[in-house]
Amino acid sequence: MLQHLSRTLATVALTASIGVSAAKASAADQLTLCWAAWDPANALVELSKDFTNKTGIEMKFEFVPWTNFADRFQNELNSQGKLCDLMIGDSQWIGGSATYGHYVKLNDFFQKEGIDINNFLPATVEAYSTWPKGSQNYWALPAMGDALGWVYRKDWFARPELRKAFKAEYGRELTPPKTWDELKDVATFFTGKEIDGKKVYGAAIYTERGSEGITMGATAALYSWGFEYQNPNKPYDMVGYVNSPQAAEGLKFYKELYKCCTPPGHSDAYMVANLDAYKSGQVAMQMNWFAFFPGIAKDPQVGGEKSGFFVNPSENIAASTLGGQGISVVSYSDKKDLALKYIKWFADANVQKKWWSLGGYSCHKAVLEDPNFKNTAPFAGDFLQAMSGVKDFWQEPTYAELLQSMQKRLHDYVVADQGTAEQALDKLVKDWIQVFEDDGKL
Amino acid sequence: MQDSSTIEAQAPVTQKRSRSLINKLMNMSDRSMAWLFIGPTVVILLLINIFPLLWTIYLSFTNYRANQPTRDIEWVGLRNYERLLNSEDIWGYLQVTAHFVCWTMILQTIIGFGLALLLNRNFKGSSFFSTVILIPMMLSPAVVGVFWTYLFQPQTGIMTYIINFFGNFGPVDFIGNVDLAPWGIVLVDTWMWSPYVMLICLAGLKSIPPSLYEAAEVDRASTFRKFWSITLPMVLPFLLLAVLFRFIENFKMFDLVNELTSGGPGSITELASINLKREAFEKWRTGYSSAFAIILFVTVFGAGNIFVKVLNRVKNR
């Protein structure tokens, strides 16, 4: 009896130890990649299967919706958490993540593995990889190029009765707008029209308060009017740049656009709200990130010939708000070597080509400088044009504070009708000066 | 190695020790016994309540930022408090909070007390209605927030339909409109928490001895007189207790309003606690937000104490 019992116990112990070792082995050969939950993330899951097939390293993904993305993963980084081995973090995080040691510096690794950062578009390397700006310190590999663009209902724009009515009212053809004034005309024209038995509105724009929405949307207009974050010759000198008369004019315009032409209840809208408004046939145009355009082009309701795309309109200058992210290795990860293997694999030109074909926006020159690139998608040409004139928000370590101040000042003025555009921008300058003073930069 | 004789010799010693421990416990004073029982709880409280409070007080005098762990913590004296008290924005958030707290307390007291009076009449189905009325306060604030966001949706929400039933007002945006949003959050909180006030008032009403009403009947007191001289004074301590709880809860209100409006449009519904969360966990101004937390704590603590004093005075009348 005793012999039988000891045999059973030995078998159980052996099985358990094998199980534990197997679990340990599989955990060791598994990487966790953290990013936002959106269309390109699904494409990356698909793409990463090739990495697993090639290396045997399993990929696990932690995707968080955009509205909580920064909160969730900034907390993770600040608490030196080990959840993420790889992080596709927003471009604005690079300053803080480099300064506070959240990301692994990649210069030596690039050199050792023969990864040439010059194979990537210079604007994306500058925006997604370097800190301090202008230096050659690389903290990320450009992973997902993105900019803010526009989508319009091509089928509505083609309707003869609407074209005729538009021409009679505005004296020109109903075509995708090239300037913000033209965009407002088109948006005003569509607002209140009945199309297919449904009342429609002009445009869905970003107005979200909580994370970064209204800043990303309003700066699309502000940049076009000539808004600058600082004196180009004197860093952190913001008076007269942030609150320049042109910037105030751009902000007034954005508010007018919000008041005249957005659907009811569009007072806290970001990417998903704009997509919903557009896909449900509620608006003629929407601003959104290029990242969503492959999904729109394939959408059964509004895809194919029903939708067209155009770059952010210009006014005084041509400029677009920068989106997109670089991929970094988290310095608190226990699997940095495996994570670097992923970066090496991801930097390969053929992987980058597949990344673009699956719906990810590659920043690799082998993809973007291909003579046929513009024909690969209906929005590919616009994407290239947008990326040649992108501007980004501050990438300072204190970016979160700077961003929240701008969110408040813009939302107070645009949505809540508090004060004037000039007052909003003056208050913003005051907030930002205090942030930089506290950070010892002023 | 101990031999069996040693073990046998040790056994009476162990027995003696445990007997003396039992004797000690038996002879403990009531005070010592009380400390023995509440001691572990006090230690836990100190660890999870008092220590963080003291730590927050310390941080409020520094420039500490939780997202910059490598940065030296600098003592800044009263600078955070100075900035807070001189900030127009902070006074704005406190005004928004005061508007929310005052109106929710007024409405919840009237509705809650009214419902309690109604349900105290023991009509047919009163227990069923009591249960139904209590449902909102049993729900999670996050669920209520999401649920009301749909009801308030200007194009498809039921509120637009109800309002347009009385005239052609078009889509009504309760949470995106600057004038309506402050009332939207008051409405939802009142819907959710009036039953709570009702429940406490109902307990008060049930505790009134029927003999008082019988005596009043004998004296031919009018219904109003009975309400004014018996019902109200007897229920008042309960009512004040409910108001006190609602005041403290609504002064700290975060979840429901955050889910409904996130403080918008602009900062129209940005309550002090929503701003506190932004300062602490979005801007990462830990020192500054600690100072703000201390100011809010002192305010709610002070006001709470005044309430308790009033409550005691009413009870002792």
Pick one of 3.40.190.10, 3.30.70.580, 3.40.50.1100, 3.50.50.60 as the CATH number of A31-146+324-391: 3.40.190.10
* CB of B265 closer than 8 Å to CB of A268: yes
For the residues B64-88, what does the mean pLDDT come to?
A: 90
Pick the range with the lowest mean pLDDT from A237-246, B63-72, B89-98, B160-169.
Answer: B63-72
For the residues B31-51, what does the mean pLDDT come to?
A: 90
> What distance in Å separates residue B157's CA from the closest CA in chain A?
11
pLDDT of residue A18: 46
For the residues B187-215, what does the mean pLDDT come to?
A: 95
Choose from A76, A78, A199, A267 for mutation: most chain B CBs within 10 A: A267
In chain A, residues with a C-beta closer than 8 Å to the C-beta of B156 are none
Name the residue of chain B whose CA is nearest to A412's CA: B266
In chain B, residues with a C-beta closer than 8 Å to the C-beta of A78 are 66-67, 69, 284
Cross-chain Cβ contact B176/A265 below 8 Å = yes
Q: Is residue A23's pLDDT more than 50?
A: no
Instruction: Work out whether strand A320-329 and strand A86-90 pair parallel, antiparallel, or are unpaired.
Output: antiparallel
Distance CA A134, CA A129 (A): 11
User: A419 — alpha (psi -120 to 50), left (phi > 0) or beta?
Assistant: left
> What distance in Å separates residue A288's CA from the closest CA in chain B?
21
Cross-chain Cβ contact A417/B178 below 8 Å = yes
For the residues A159-163, what does the mean pLDDT come to?
A: 97
Work out the mean pLDDT of chain A and round it to a whole number. Answer: 92
- Smallest Cβ–Cβ distance between A415 and the set B67, B154, B266 belongs to B266
How many C-beta neighbours within 10 Å does residue A159 have? 14
In this structure, what is the dihedral angle of CA atoms A240, A242, A245, A249, given to the nearest 10 degrees? 180
Distance CA B105, CA A50 (A): 60
Cross-chain Cβ contact A78/B283 below 8 Å = no
Domain ranges of chain A: 31-146+324-391, 148-321+395-438
- Residue B317 makes CB contacts below 8 A (sequence gap 6+) with B233
For the residues A295-314, what does the mean pLDDT come to?
A: 95
For the residues A89-100, what does the mean pLDDT come to?
A: 91
In order of A118, A149, A296, A326, the CA distances from A361 in angstroms are 17, 14, 15, 11
> What distance in Å separates residue B166's CA from the closest CA in chain A?
20
> What distance in Å separates residue A242's CA from the closest CA in chain B?
20
Cross-chain Cβ contact A100/B266 below 8 Å = no
**Interval A232-268: pLDDT, tens:** 999 999 999 999 999 999 999 999 999 999 999 999 9
In chain A, residues with a C-beta closer than 8 Å to the C-beta of B185 are none
Cross-chain Cβ contact B283/A404 below 8 Å = yes
In chain B, residues with a C-beta closer than 8 Å to the C-beta of A401 are 283-285
Pick the range with the lowest mean pLDDT from A331-345, B71-85, B155-169.
Answer: B155-169
Of B191, B282, B290, B153, nearest in space to A263 by CA: B153
In order of A35, B182, B254, B272, the CA distances from B179 in angstroms are 38, 7, 21, 19
Q: Name the residue with tokens 């002023």.
A: A442
Name the residue of chain A whose CA is nearest to B68's CA: A100
Pick the range with the lowest mean pLDDT from A317-321, A428-432, B67-71.
Answer: B67-71
pLDDT of residue A1: 44
Same fold, A31-146+324-391 and A148-321+395-438: yes
pTM above 0.80, yes or no: yes
Angle in degrees, CA A413, A417, A419, rounded to 5? 65
For the residues A211-238, what does the mean pLDDT come to?
A: 95
* Structure tokens that stand for A384 in this block: 């290239």
Cross-chain Cβ contact A416/B267 below 8 Å = yes
For the residues A358-378, what does the mean pLDDT come to?
A: 93
Cross-chain Cβ contact A74/B267 below 8 Å = no
- Smallest Cβ–Cβ distance between B266 and the set A71, A263, A416 belongs to A416
Dump the DSSP string for chain B: ---HHHHHHHHHHHHHHHHHHHHHHHT--HHHHHHHHHHHHHHHHIIIIIHHHHHHHHHTTB---TT-TTSPP-B-TTHHHHHHHT-HHHHHHHHHHHHHHHHHHHHHHHHHHHHHHHHTT--TTHHHHHHHHHHHHHS-HHHHHHHHHHHH-TTT-HHHHHHHHTS------TTTSTTTHHHHHHHHHHHHHHHHHHHHHHHHHHTS-HHHHHHHHHTT--HHHHIIIIIHHHHHHHHHHHHHHHHHHHHT--HHHHHHTTT-STTTT--HHHHHHHHHHTS--HHHHHHHHHHHHHHHHHHHHHHHHHHHHHHH-
Of A239, A242, A212, nearest in space to A225 by CA: A242
How many C-beta neighbours within 10 Å does residue B28 have? 13
pLDDT of residue A22: 45
Q: Is residue A25's pLDDT more than 80?
A: no
pLDDT of residue B4: 54
Q: How many residues does chain B have?
A: 317
- Smallest Cβ–Cβ distance between B265 and the set A100, A101, A415 belongs to A415
Between B28 and A141, where is the model more confident?
A141
pLDDT of residue A27: 55
Position B311: which residue type? L
Q: Identify the contact set of chain B against chain A, taking CB-CB distances under 8 A.
A: 63, 66-70, 89, 153-155, 170-171, 173, 175-178, 261-268, 278, 281-285
* CB of B196 closer than 8 Å to CB of B242: yes
Distance CA B304, CA B248 (A): 7
pLDDT of residue B132: 93
* Topology adopted by domain B80-316: MetI-like fold (1.10.3720)
Choose from A276, A283, A415, A433 for mutation: most chain B CBs within 10 A: A415
**Interval B223-254: pLDDT, tens:** 999 999 999 999 999 999 999 999 999 999 99
What CATH number is given for A148-321+395-438 in this structure?
A: 3.40.190.10
Give the H/E segment covering residue A342.
helix A336-346
pLDDT of residue A19: 47
DSSP state of A84: -
In chain B, residues with a C-beta closer than 8 Å to the C-beta of A96 are 67
Q: Is residue B179's pLDDT more than 50?
A: yes
pLDDT of residue A20: 46
Between A179 and B125, where is the model more confident?
A179
Q: Which residues of A291-312 are buried (b: 16+ CB within 10 A; e: fewer)?
A: bbbbbbbebeebeeebbbbbbb
Distance CA B174, CA B39 (A): 51
Q: Which residues of A385-401 are buried (b: 16+ CB within 10 A; e: fewer)?
A: bbbebbbbbbbbbbbbb
Q: Answer positive or negative: Cα dihedral of A425, A431, A437, A441.
A: negative
Choose from A68, A71, A75, A78 for mutation: most chain B CBs within 10 A: A78
Considering chain A, what percentage of its residues have pLDDT values greater than 70?
A: 94
> What distance in Å separates residue B120's CA from the closest CA in chain A?
42
Distance CA B223, CA B216 (A): 9
Backbone angles phi, psi at A180, to 5 degrees: -65, -35
pLDDT of residue B67: 82
Distance CA A417, CA A120 (A): 43
Work out the mean pLDDT of chain B and round it to a whole number. Answer: 90
Cross-chain Cβ contact B173/A265 below 8 Å = yes
Cross-chain Cβ contact B69/A209 below 8 Å = no
> What distance in Å separates residue B283's CA from the closest CA in chain A?
4
Cross-chain Cβ contact A411/B262 below 8 Å = no
Pick the range with the lowest mean pLDDT from A270-279, B7-16, B115-124.
Answer: B7-16
Distance CA A136, CA A139 (A): 10
Confidence of residue A315 (pLDDT cuts 50, 70, 90): very high
Give the H/E segment covering residue A276.
helix A271-279
Dump the DSSP string for A409-433: HHHHHHTT--S-HHHHHHHHHHHHH
* CB of B132 closer than 8 Å to CB of B194: no
The ranges of chain B annotated as CATH 1.10.3720.10 are: 80-316
In order of A174, B118, B134, B199, B286, the CA distances from B128 in angstroms are 62, 13, 10, 14, 49
Pick the range with the lowest mean pLDDT from A95-99, B65-69, B77-81.
Answer: B65-69
- Smallest Cβ–Cβ distance between A101 and the set B70, B262, B266 belongs to B70
State the greatest distance between any 2 C-alpha atoms of chain A, in Å, as a whole number: 100
Name the residue of chain A whose CA is nearest to B285's CA: A401
Size of interface A-B (CB pairs under 8 A): 83
Cross-chain Cβ contact B171/A265 below 8 Å = yes
**Interval A375-407: pLDDT, tens:** 999 999 999 999 988 999 998 989 889 999 999
Angle in degrees, CA A71, A74, A79, rounded to 5? 120
Choose from B282, B286, B288 for mutation: most chain A CBs within 10 A: B282
Q: Is residue A2's pLDDT more than 50?
A: no
Pick the range with the lowest mean pLDDT from A329-333, B183-187, B283-287.
Answer: B283-287
Position A124: which residue type? T
Considering chain B, what percentage of its residues have pLDDT values greater than 70?
A: 95
